[in-house]
Protein backbone atom coordinates (compact mmCIF):
# COMPACT_ATOMS: atom_id res chain seq x y z
CA UNK A 1 0.00 0.00 0.00
CA UNK A 2 1.33 3.49 -0.82
CA UNK A 3 2.82 5.32 2.12
CA UNK A 4 2.35 8.74 3.61
CA UNK A 5 5.60 9.70 5.28
CA UNK A 6 5.89 11.91 8.33
CA UNK A 7 8.97 13.49 9.86
CA UNK A 8 10.22 13.57 12.51
CA UNK A 9 8.88 10.48 14.21
CA UNK A 10 9.40 12.07 17.60
CA UNK A 11 10.02 15.68 18.54
CA UNK A 12 10.65 17.17 21.94
CA UNK A 13 10.27 20.91 22.29
CA UNK A 14 10.15 23.48 25.03
CA UNK A 15 6.94 25.26 25.85
CA UNK A 16 6.57 28.42 23.81
CA UNK A 17 8.71 27.21 20.93
CA UNK A 18 7.48 26.86 17.38
CA UNK A 19 7.38 23.42 15.81
CA UNK A 20 6.82 22.30 12.25
CA UNK A 21 5.63 18.80 11.55
CA UNK A 22 6.16 17.50 8.05
CA UNK A 23 4.23 15.13 5.88
CA UNK A 24 4.99 13.84 2.42
CA UNK A 25 1.73 12.61 0.93
CA UNK A 26 1.37 10.08 -1.82
CA UNK A 27 2.02 11.67 -5.19
CA UNK A 28 -1.14 12.70 -7.04
CA UNK A 29 -3.13 12.94 -3.85
CA UNK A 30 -5.10 16.14 -3.62
CA UNK A 31 -6.74 16.18 -0.19
CA UNK A 32 -4.69 16.48 2.96
CA UNK A 33 -5.55 16.24 6.61
CA UNK A 34 -4.06 16.53 10.06
CA UNK A 35 -5.31 14.64 13.09
CA UNK A 36 -4.23 14.65 16.72
CA UNK A 37 -4.30 11.92 19.32
CA UNK A 38 -3.58 12.90 22.89
CA UNK A 39 -2.18 9.96 24.85
CA UNK A 40 -4.94 7.59 25.85
CA UNK A 41 -7.60 9.46 23.93
CA UNK A 42 -9.23 9.11 20.55
CA UNK A 43 -8.04 10.45 17.25
CA UNK A 44 -9.39 13.95 16.58
CA UNK A 45 -9.72 15.77 13.28
CA UNK A 46 -7.81 19.05 13.11
CA UNK A 47 -7.91 20.40 9.57
CA UNK A 48 -8.43 19.53 5.94
CA UNK A 49 -6.58 21.16 3.05
CA UNK A 50 -7.41 21.19 -0.63
CA UNK A 51 -6.35 23.30 -3.57
CA UNK A 52 -3.86 25.18 -1.41
CA UNK A 53 -6.32 26.32 1.16
CA UNK A 54 -8.00 25.11 4.30
CA UNK A 55 -11.35 23.55 3.46
CA UNK A 56 -12.43 22.70 6.98
CA UNK A 57 -11.07 22.94 10.50
CA UNK A 58 -12.14 21.87 13.95
CA UNK A 59 -12.43 24.00 17.05
CA UNK A 60 -9.08 22.61 18.17
CA UNK A 61 -7.38 24.28 15.20
CA UNK A 62 -7.02 27.77 16.64
CA UNK A 63 -4.73 30.64 15.67
CA UNK A 64 -1.73 28.81 17.08
CA UNK A 65 -1.97 26.31 14.23
CA UNK A 66 -1.32 26.77 10.55
CA UNK A 67 -0.87 24.49 7.56
CA UNK A 68 0.72 24.92 4.19
CA UNK A 69 2.08 23.04 1.24
CA UNK A 70 5.07 25.20 0.47
CA UNK A 71 6.67 23.26 -2.37
CA UNK A 72 3.83 21.23 -3.79
CA UNK A 73 4.92 18.05 -2.07
CA UNK A 74 5.45 18.52 1.66
CA UNK A 75 2.41 19.30 3.74
CA UNK A 76 3.27 20.96 7.03
CA UNK A 77 1.57 21.68 10.33
CA UNK A 78 3.02 24.55 12.31
CA UNK A 79 2.32 25.21 15.96
CA UNK A 80 3.41 28.77 16.69
CA UNK A 81 3.93 28.70 20.43
CA UNK A 82 3.60 25.24 21.86
CA UNK A 83 1.77 24.52 25.10
CA UNK A 84 2.05 21.50 27.33
CA UNK A 85 -1.35 20.34 26.19
CA UNK A 86 -0.14 20.20 22.59
CA UNK A 87 1.75 17.04 23.50
CA UNK A 88 0.19 14.36 21.33
CA UNK A 89 0.64 12.12 18.34
CA UNK A 90 -0.05 14.02 15.14
CA UNK A 91 -1.17 12.07 12.09
CA UNK A 92 -1.18 13.28 8.53
CA UNK A 93 -3.53 11.73 5.99
CA UNK A 94 -3.97 12.10 2.25
CA UNK A 95 -6.64 11.14 -0.23
CA UNK A 96 -6.88 10.98 -3.99
CA UNK A 97 -9.10 12.71 -6.51
CA UNK A 98 -12.25 10.83 -5.52
CA UNK A 99 -11.55 11.42 -1.83
CA UNK A 100 -13.03 8.08 -0.81
CA UNK A 101 -10.16 6.69 1.24
CA UNK A 102 -7.54 8.47 3.31
CA UNK A 103 -4.09 7.00 3.87
CA UNK A 104 -2.51 7.75 7.21
CA UNK A 105 1.11 8.43 7.99
CA UNK A 106 2.91 6.83 10.88
CA UNK A 107 2.56 9.90 13.04
CA UNK A 108 4.83 12.34 14.82
CA UNK A 109 4.93 12.15 18.58
CA UNK A 110 5.25 15.69 19.90
CA UNK A 111 6.34 16.14 23.49
CA UNK A 112 6.22 19.65 24.92
CA UNK A 113 8.24 20.10 28.10
CA UNK B 1 -22.57 16.15 12.58
CA UNK B 2 -21.34 12.62 12.51
CA UNK B 3 -20.55 10.64 15.64
CA UNK B 4 -19.19 7.21 16.42
CA UNK B 5 -19.85 5.17 19.51
CA UNK B 6 -17.79 2.18 20.57
CA UNK B 7 -19.54 0.34 23.34
CA UNK B 8 -16.66 -1.57 24.85
CA UNK B 9 -13.93 0.47 26.46
CA UNK B 10 -11.74 -2.45 27.50
CA UNK B 11 -12.12 -6.07 26.52
CA UNK B 12 -10.08 -8.87 28.03
CA UNK B 13 -10.07 -12.27 26.36
CA UNK B 14 -8.13 -15.48 26.48
CA UNK B 15 -6.39 -16.76 23.39
CA UNK B 16 -8.69 -18.58 20.97
CA UNK B 17 -11.77 -16.79 22.27
CA UNK B 18 -14.05 -15.10 19.79
CA UNK B 19 -14.15 -11.33 19.56
CA UNK B 20 -16.86 -8.87 18.71
CA UNK B 21 -16.39 -5.14 19.16
CA UNK B 22 -19.40 -2.93 18.78
CA UNK B 23 -19.51 0.26 16.71
CA UNK B 24 -22.52 2.46 16.01
CA UNK B 25 -22.49 5.65 14.07
CA UNK B 26 -24.71 8.60 13.47
CA UNK B 27 -24.70 10.45 10.17
CA UNK B 28 -27.37 11.74 7.84
CA UNK B 29 -25.81 10.72 4.54
CA UNK B 30 -23.84 8.00 2.83
CA UNK B 31 -20.76 6.96 4.74
CA UNK B 32 -17.61 4.96 4.45
CA UNK B 33 -16.72 2.89 7.48
CA UNK B 34 -13.34 1.83 8.78
CA UNK B 35 -11.70 -0.15 11.53
CA UNK B 36 -8.15 0.74 12.50
CA UNK B 37 -5.79 -1.02 14.86
CA UNK B 38 -3.06 0.66 16.84
CA UNK B 39 -0.48 -1.58 18.48
CA UNK B 40 1.26 -0.16 21.54
CA UNK B 41 3.52 2.72 20.54
CA UNK B 42 2.71 2.40 16.86
CA UNK B 43 0.68 4.20 14.24
CA UNK B 44 -2.79 3.53 12.96
CA UNK B 45 -3.16 0.62 10.59
CA UNK B 46 -6.22 0.01 8.49
CA UNK B 47 -7.84 -3.34 9.31
CA UNK B 48 -10.74 -3.14 6.91
CA UNK B 49 -13.10 -0.74 5.23
CA UNK B 50 -16.61 -0.65 3.85
CA UNK B 51 -17.64 1.57 0.97
CA UNK B 52 -20.52 -0.28 -0.67
CA UNK B 53 -21.61 -3.74 -1.81
CA UNK B 54 -21.38 -6.85 0.33
CA UNK B 55 -22.01 -5.72 3.91
CA UNK B 56 -19.71 -8.42 5.25
CA UNK B 57 -16.19 -7.14 4.82
CA UNK B 58 -13.06 -9.16 5.35
CA UNK B 59 -9.85 -7.48 6.39
CA UNK B 60 -6.34 -8.35 7.34
CA UNK B 61 -5.24 -10.68 10.15
CA UNK B 62 -8.50 -12.65 10.05
CA UNK B 63 -10.76 -9.77 11.02
CA UNK B 64 -14.15 -9.10 9.49
CA UNK B 65 -16.91 -6.60 10.02
CA UNK B 66 -20.56 -6.47 9.14
CA UNK B 67 -22.36 -3.32 8.11
CA UNK B 68 -25.99 -3.33 9.21
CA UNK B 69 -27.52 -0.21 7.74
CA UNK B 70 -30.78 -0.45 9.67
CA UNK B 71 -28.88 -0.49 12.94
CA UNK B 72 -26.19 2.02 11.90
CA UNK B 73 -23.68 -0.55 13.09
CA UNK B 74 -20.34 -1.82 11.88
CA UNK B 75 -19.18 -4.42 14.38
CA UNK B 76 -15.75 -5.97 14.20
CA UNK B 77 -15.33 -9.71 14.65
CA UNK B 78 -12.63 -12.34 14.81
CA UNK B 79 -13.40 -16.01 15.44
CA UNK B 80 -10.24 -16.77 17.41
CA UNK B 81 -7.99 -14.07 18.86
CA UNK B 82 -4.28 -14.36 19.43
CA UNK B 83 -2.02 -12.73 22.01
CA UNK B 84 -0.62 -10.56 19.18
CA UNK B 85 -4.07 -8.99 18.70
CA UNK B 86 -3.56 -7.02 21.91
CA UNK B 87 -4.01 -3.44 20.75
CA UNK B 88 -6.35 -0.47 20.59
CA UNK B 89 -9.12 -0.70 18.00
CA UNK B 90 -10.80 2.34 16.51
CA UNK B 91 -13.95 2.50 14.46
CA UNK B 92 -14.22 5.51 12.13
CA UNK B 93 -16.76 6.93 9.75
CA UNK B 94 -16.39 9.49 6.99
CA UNK B 95 -18.72 10.99 4.43
CA UNK B 96 -18.27 8.95 1.25
CA UNK B 97 -16.74 11.82 -0.69
CA UNK B 98 -14.73 13.36 2.12
CA UNK B 99 -12.51 10.50 3.20
CA UNK B 100 -10.22 12.48 5.43
CA UNK B 101 -12.97 14.07 7.45
CA UNK B 102 -13.18 10.98 9.58
CA UNK B 103 -14.75 10.83 12.96
CA UNK B 104 -13.23 8.26 15.25
CA UNK B 105 -14.75 6.40 18.13
CA UNK B 106 -13.16 6.48 21.56
CA UNK B 107 -11.41 3.21 20.90
CA UNK B 108 -11.52 -0.22 22.52
CA UNK B 109 -8.50 -1.64 24.25
CA UNK B 110 -8.24 -5.35 23.63
CA UNK B 111 -6.06 -7.40 25.94
CA UNK B 112 -5.55 -11.03 25.00
CA UNK B 113 -4.17 -13.26 27.72
CA UNK B 114 -1.89 -16.07 26.58
Alpha carbon distance B72, A26 (integer Å): 32
Q: Are A85 and A19 in contact (CB under 8 A)?
A: no
The pLDDT value given to residue A1: 53
The pLDDT value given to residue A2: 58
Whether the CA torsion B83, B106, B58, B68 is positive or negative: it is: positive
Chain B CB contacts of A31 below 8 Å: 99-100
Q: Could you tell me if A101 lies within 8 Å of chain B, comparing CB atoms?
A: yes
* Alpha carbon separation from A108 to A8, A15, A48 (Å, rounded): 6, 17, 18
Q: How far is A39 from chain B (nearest CA, A)?
A: 10
For residue range A29-59, what is the model confidence (pLDDT) as tens digits? 889 999 999 988 889 999 999 988 999 999 9
- Which residues of chain B, if any, have pLDDT below 50? none
What is the number of CB-based contacts under 8 A between chain A and chain B? 60
Q: Are B48 and B56 in contact (CB under 8 A)?
A: no
The pLDDT value given to residue A78: 97
The pLDDT value given to residue A84: 96
Helix, strand, coil abundance in chain A, percent, nearest 5? 5, 55, 45
The pLDDT value given to residue B109: 95
Looking at the predicted structure, is the pLDDT value of residue A93 above 60? yes
For residue range A62-92, what is the model confidence (pLDDT) as tens digits? 999 999 998 778 999 999 999 999 999 999 9
Whether residues B104 and A48 touch (CB distance < 8 A) is answered with: no
Chain B CB contacts of A34 below 8 Å: none
For residue range A1-21, what is the model confidence (pLDDT) as tens digits? 557 899 999 999 999 999 999
Looking at the predicted structure, is the pLDDT value of residue A98 above 90? no
* Alpha carbon separation from B34 to A52, B17, B65 (Å, rounded): 27, 23, 9
Q: Are A55 and A48 in contact (CB under 8 A)?
A: yes
Select from A44, A89, A99 the Cβ nearest to the Cβ of B99: A99
Q: Looking at B1-114, list the stretches that DSSP marks H as alpha helix, in order from N- to C-terminal side.
A: none
Phi then psi for B98, rounded to 5 degrees?
Answer: -145, 65
Q: How far is A15 from chain B (nearest CA, A)?
A: 23
Chain B CB contacts of A93 below 8 Å: 100, 102
Amino acid sequence: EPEVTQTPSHQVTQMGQEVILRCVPISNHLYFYWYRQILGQKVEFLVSFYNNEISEKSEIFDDQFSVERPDGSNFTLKIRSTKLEDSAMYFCAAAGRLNTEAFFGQGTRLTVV
Amino acid sequence: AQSVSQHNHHVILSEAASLELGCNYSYGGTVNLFWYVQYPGQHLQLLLKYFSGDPLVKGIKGFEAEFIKSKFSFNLRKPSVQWSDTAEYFCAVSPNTNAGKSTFGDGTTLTVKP
